[in-house]
Structure 1
């Protein structure tokens, strides 16, 4: 797979003109919302891993391939070009030069992406592409191990956290459900179990990077959280001698 960006890869030793912003944290903390906001605010590329997996999944669907076949999926990746272009309303996703921004959001593509993403070779390959895209800076990326594994040299690292009860409450209000079995209590229990797995897994456990700013949103509104995140990025830009309106 070849993933392209308007940004050129640096040698890794050169000073980035714009930062890599890594956002990590547990499930339901609001990382995607923060990443999208910061990308829009500062004109950065929101390096969406989900969009990248969905683009590859769409090509697998169009070629009627077996999602469970890891070798076939990796071979497909080697002849695929994915490009992310930052727009005010979010990323434009190009698959082999074709705009698939809307199509990759469809349910069948999302379902296929979840099956493809479990293959370790695909995940390793994706990380390589993400590093290539982000190497020159001017990107925001969120996940579980961005600041510790994917971009350990990120200039800005935010670990977004909140009490599981608060995360569960927010998710319950956001998603809602006609299913009586899905309660706020069940969502909190699910998040606590996921936290336990994420924090104690052998491979890339969930933890703040040593140099991350820990932002606990438990007692904050969304607006307050986003304002604090903006301040963190703006302070870095000022310290680095880069100015932004």
Structure 2
């Protein structure tokens, strides 16, 4: 039986991480862990409970009672927080624009990193996020760092929002993505940075199938040498 790998896919907002990670996991019959959804879930609960998003102590207290579950469905993976289906809510602009603040808090990163490491302990997993290859799974056998231009990422988000009937101007999305990049790359705890042993893949001019193909080639080469 082929060794089950740990695959870390990192990169900035809207670089295509989640979509690609799901497809790679499906092809390999691996577990997919959406760490971004976990941080969004915490952000959603904090807003619901009126917890200040930059109050590390208050968030630490809130985290004592949070339960995040991923539930497979015919329409994709559902996300539940304390029994509430928040799959759609955590993708709304108020969560998107605040999740970086919550994700920068020490208590939040410590708690979720521990959970993510537990999920990945036996390998056979594809995990995407901002710090998977550097902090969560530094021993991952395969590390991918996806990038794309701000304009391309904003356009992707714009098209996604149109499908969801969210009316946000393209230029505003560009500004939001630039700001999120700044927050993610300058935070003190686990900043967004390419791991030294990660392979960078620029997705600006590639479609999803082409990105998945590149990653699968890397995986297959690794499995052949294992």
Identify the TM-score tier after normalising by the shorter chain: 0.7 to 0.9
Aligned CA distance change for structure 1 residues 21 and 108 (closer, same or farther; 3 Å) = closer
Structure 1 regions of 5+ residues with no counterpart?
A: 1-15, 241-245
Between Structure 1 and Structure 2, how many residues are aligned? Answer: 214
Q: Distance in 1 between matches of 2:143 and 2:175?
A: 28
Q: Distance in 1 between matches of 2:109 and 2:199?
A: 27
Residue 169 in structure 1 maps to residue 151 in structure 2? no
Contact preservation (8 Å) 2:41, 2:90: no
With structure 2 as the length reference, what TM-score do the two structures score? 0.75
2:62 aligned partner: 73
Aligned CA distance change for structure 1 residues 185 and 37 (closer, same or farther; 3 Å) = same
With structure 1 as the length reference, what TM-score do the two structures score? 0.70
SS in structure 2 of the partner of residue 158 of structure 1: strand
Residue 129 in structure 1 maps to residue 111 in structure 2? no
Q: Distance in 1 between matches of 2:196 and 2:130?
A: 14
Aligned CA distance change for structure 1 residues 227 and 71 (closer, same or farther; 3 Å) = closer
Q: CA shift at 1:86, angstroms? A: 6.8
Q: CA shift at 1:106, angstroms? A: 5.0
SS in structure 1 of the partner of residue 4 of structure 2: coil
Aligned CA distance change for structure 1 residues 55 and 231 (closer, same or farther; 3 Å) = same
Q: Distance in 2 between matches of 1:213 and 1:109?
A: 28
Aligned CA distance change for structure 1 residues 187 and 212 (closer, same or farther; 3 Å) = same
Contact preservation (8 Å) 2:78, 2:87: no
Q: Distance in 2 between matches of 1:226 and 1:200?
A: 29
Q: Distance in 1 between matches of 2:43 and 2:166?
A: 30
Give deviations 1:123-169, integer Å, cap 9, x for gaps: 31111111111121111111111101111111010000111111112
Q: Distance in 1 between matches of 2:148 and 2:91?
A: 31
Give deviations 1:177-225, integer Å, cap 9, x for gaps: 664xx32222223222322332233332222111101000112122211
Q: Distance in 2 between matches of 1:120 and 1:29?
A: 25
Higher percent of residues as helix: 2
Q: Distance in 1 between matches of 2:225 and 2:91?
A: 42
Q: Distance in 2 between matches of 1:36 and 1:214?
A: 18
Contact preservation (8 Å) 1:58, 1:109: no
Aligned CA distance change for structure 1 residues 204 and 122 (closer, same or farther; 3 Å) = closer
Matches within 5 A, 1:144-155: 144-155=130-141
Structure number with greater Rg is: 1
1:36 aligned partner: 22
1:120 aligned partner: 106
Structure 2 regions of 5+ residues with no counterpart?
A: 53-57
Runs (4 or more) in structure 1 with deviation over 6 Å come to 54-60, 85-89, 92-96, 108-112
Residue 103 in structure 1 maps to residue 85 in structure 2? yes
